[in-house]
Structure 1
Amino acid sequence: MSKELKTGIVAVIVIALFVWGYNFLKGQDLFNPSTRYFYVEYDNISGLNEASVVTINGLKVGKVAEINFNPNPEKKGKLIVTLSVENNFKFSKNSIAKIYSAGLMGGQNLAIVPSYEGEEAKSGDYLTGKVESDLIASLSDKLTPKLEHTIVGVDSLVSGFNQILDDKSRKSLNRSILNLENTVSDVRKTLGAVNSMLNNSKGNIEATVQNAKKITDDFSKVSEELAKANLGNTVKKLETTLTNVNTLLADMKSGKGTLGKLMTDEKMYTNLTNASKELEELLREMKLNPKRFVHFSLFGKKAKPYNEENNENNVSNQ
């Protein structure tokens, strides 16, 4: 084989490799004849790049092969995106090619939202394009109306507040603030006086605390002594005594025993009263007429008999 032939073969191989590499970088695989190509028209691709991932239901099925301007003068400025799909998954022409944000850090991917109604999509067909707002844009779209409404509300509130606060109200508010400052100043002075008083009375407070501690210790000792005195037995004895007293009082109330009968039997009370009365009369008679009880006479003179009237009048019979 001549050198010229070898040089030609090497040149052909290099050219083939260059063509294959160029197409591979664009997302086209010349050695995979099952690759299908679809076209999508967009007004704005939002940063989509060639070789961006193409997915169906989250599964990678291909890449973005080319992005070019539409050569049609009537659609000047519109972009045509060529998709290379290596998966043989079937879907209809009504499917949507949606550009979406790949993450917070940026980057765009393309997802085919498959539809199964209508004619099956074939290589070379156009799909409907759609651009999904990224996270920041979506938040901005949602928050902007609320923020505008909030700003309007704040503006209305400030306007109303300004209307309420006329010159007189503002002066009154200023005086109130000044009074508040004076009050705070007075409070600070009072706190300073209290702190000074506490510092001057620190020794007295410590002595009071020590005395209180001593009293607490003494009370603790008294408590221990009372605990050692066996107050339980004393209380039990006291309860027994009170029980006996209650029993005695109950017996007296029911007429049992001498005291009970004396308290409840009227006849005995009457007899005791009569006996006391007779004893009193006897003593009075002995005092008034002693000769009736101690008689001594040589001539046999008889003592005068008992006279109830004289006895009651405390008069002697002599």
Structure 2
Amino acid sequence: MTISNETKVGALTSIAIVLLILGFNFLKGKSFKSNKVKYYAVFDNIQGLANSNPVMINGKQVGTVFNTDGGMDMRKIKVTMNMSIPVNIPDNSVAVVTTSLLGTTSLEIKLGNATKYYTNGDTIATEASSGMFDVALQKVDPVLAQVKIAVKSLDSLLGSVNSLFDPNTKNNIKGTLENLNKTTANLTVSSAYLQTLLNTQSGALAKTLNNVSSFTGALASNNDKMNDIMTNVEKTTANFSKLDVEKTLASLNGTINELKNTVGKINSDNGTLGLLLNDKKLYTNLNATSNKLNLLLDDVRLHPKRYINISVFGKKDKETPLMVPLPDTVNAPYLNK
């Protein structure tokens, strides 16, 4: 069977059309398989990101952008990603739109360090990109990029400082500087006084050190005496340590007990000394004896002839003896009233 040239041309044309459609859909990021994994990301600005742009992880393409949809509002643009190879994406990863120096836009996923991963149909968190100029600047010279950031921070700091320097603040700073000048002057005076104090010839510190030196010299000269005193103290403590303190205390305790017993006997009516101190009869008898002795002495003084007769011719005194003491002994403390 011979195939005509028209048939061949028609078949080739049909195959070319099919391949063209498939290639166009592939370039648009449409999937030929229904089991591909899809992720979503929402951006405020996609910076020219289009369908079929690559999805990159650490410089390797892992998928393509399938669709970008901003709706009627266009404030939030939802990007659909088709993953061509299976990748575990931690759930703290972020998606960033990046632009190369040649103007090629891609979607880069910066992997996080979580142990839990996104699943098919999840929406990945996004992060604003730095812009093409910043990226180029970082590629050309990272130091200039850091300088640019530092200049921005410095400009913000200077703006904040200028806003703080109102008239009141300036007056306060002026007063602070004046106080600082006064403090500096006081420090100068204090430094001069300290210099005088530390003078090695006439300073108070030098005199104090001289006194300390004299005192230590005196201690050194009396070192032998101090040694003798310490030796005597050691001997005294040794003698104290040799004393039988327990035996002495026991003897003292026995003496105290005996003294207690003696005092107890004195206070009681038992024994001669106790009766002498506590028996009222003895006091009464002594009092009566003393009274009789007084009467006898008064009678001897007034009538001596009754008791002593030395005269040859004298008469014996026959007067009545005294029955009551004389008035000079009436108020004596030994009489009972």
TM-score, normalization by structure 1: 0.47
By relative contact order (CA 8 Å, sep 6+), the higher-ranking structure is: 1
